[in-house]
Structure 1
Amino acid sequence: MKLVNAPLLALMLALPLAACGERPQANAPQTDTTLGQKVREATNEARKELAQGNISIGSDGAKVEISPAGDLLINGTAVALNDSQRALTLQYRERTIAIAEAGIEIGVQGANLGARAAGEALKGIFSGDTDKIEERVNAEAEKLKANAAKICDQMPALLATQQQLAAAVPEFRPYAKMDQSDIDDCRDGHVELP
Structure 2
Amino acid sequence: MKKLDTCLFALLLCLPLAACGGQPSSSTATETADTTLGKKVREATDEARRKLATENISVSRNNGVKAEITPAGDLLIDGKAVAIDDAQRKLLLDYRTQIVKVAEAGIDVGVQGANLGMRAAGEAIKGIFSGDTDKIEERVNAEAKRLEESALKICEQMPAMLATQQQLATAVPEFKPYATMDQDDIEECRKGSVTLR
TM range (shorter): 0.7 to 0.9
Deviation, 1:43, is 1.4
- Residue 182 of structure 1 corresponds to 185
Q: Which stretch shifts more, 65-74 or 37-46?
A: 37-46
Deviations 1:63-88 (Å, cap 9, x if unpaired)?
Answer: 11000000000001000000000000
Aligned length: 182
Counterpart residue type for residue 38 of structure 2: G
Unaligned ranges ≥5, structure 2: 1-11
Cα RMSD over matched residues?
1.8
1:29 is displaced (CA, Å) by 5.0
Pair 1:31 & 2:30 matched: yes
Is 1:15–1:115's contact at 8 Å kept on the other side of the alignment?
no
Q: Does 1:14 align with 2:16?
A: yes
Structure 1 alignment gaps of length 5 or more: 1-9
Task: Map residues 133-172 of structure 1 onto 2, 5 A cutoff.
Answer: 133-172=136-175
Distance 1:193 1:85, change over 3 A: closer
- Indicate the SS of the match to 2:163: helix
Offset of residue 15 of structure 1? 4.4
- Cα distance in 2 for partners of 1:29, 1:57 equals 33
State the Cα deviation string for residues 72-121 of structure 1 (Å, max 9, x = none). 00001000000000000000000000000000111111000000000000
Determine if contact 2:15/2:110 at 8 Å carries over to the other structure: no
| Structure having greater relative contact order (Cα 8 Å, sep ≥ 6) | 1
Contact 2:25/2:118, CA 8 A, preserved across alignment: yes
Pair 1:121-2:124 in alignment? yes
SS in 2 for 1:59: strand
Q: Does the C-alpha gap of structure 1 residues 80 and 12 become closer, same or farther in structure 2, counting only changes over 3 Å?
A: closer
Question: Structure 1 vs Structure 2: percent identity of aligned residues?
Answer: 64
- Cα shift readout 1:37-83 (whole Å, capped 9, x = no counterpart): 42121111011000001000122311110000000000010000000
TM-score for the superposition, normalised by structure 2: 0.87
In 2, Cα distance between equivalents of 1:65 and 1:11: 23
Deviation at 1:30, TM superposition (A): 5.5
On the 8 A contact 2:61/2:178 being kept in 1, the answer is yes
Measured in 1, the distance between the counterparts of 2:38 and 2:85 equals 43
Aligned-pair distance for 1:174? Answer: 0.6
Instruction: State the match for 2:6 in structure 1.
Output: none
2:61 aligned with 1:59, yes or no?
A: yes
Kept after mapping to 1: 8 A contact 2:54/2:71: yes
What is the rounded CA distance, in whole Å, between the counterparts of 1:190 and 1:184 in structure 2?
9
1:48 aligns with 2:50: yes
Q: How much has 1:36 moved relative to structure 2?
A: 3.5
Query: TM-score, with normalisation over the residues of structure 1?
Result: 0.88
- Among residues 80, 85, 89, which one is paired with 1:82 in the alignment? 85
Which whole-Å CA distance do the structure 2 matches of 1:11 and 1:45 have between them?
16
Alpha-carbon shift at residue 176 of structure 1 (Å):
0.3
Matching residue of 1:91:
94
Query: Which residue pairs with 2:3 in the alignment?
Result: none
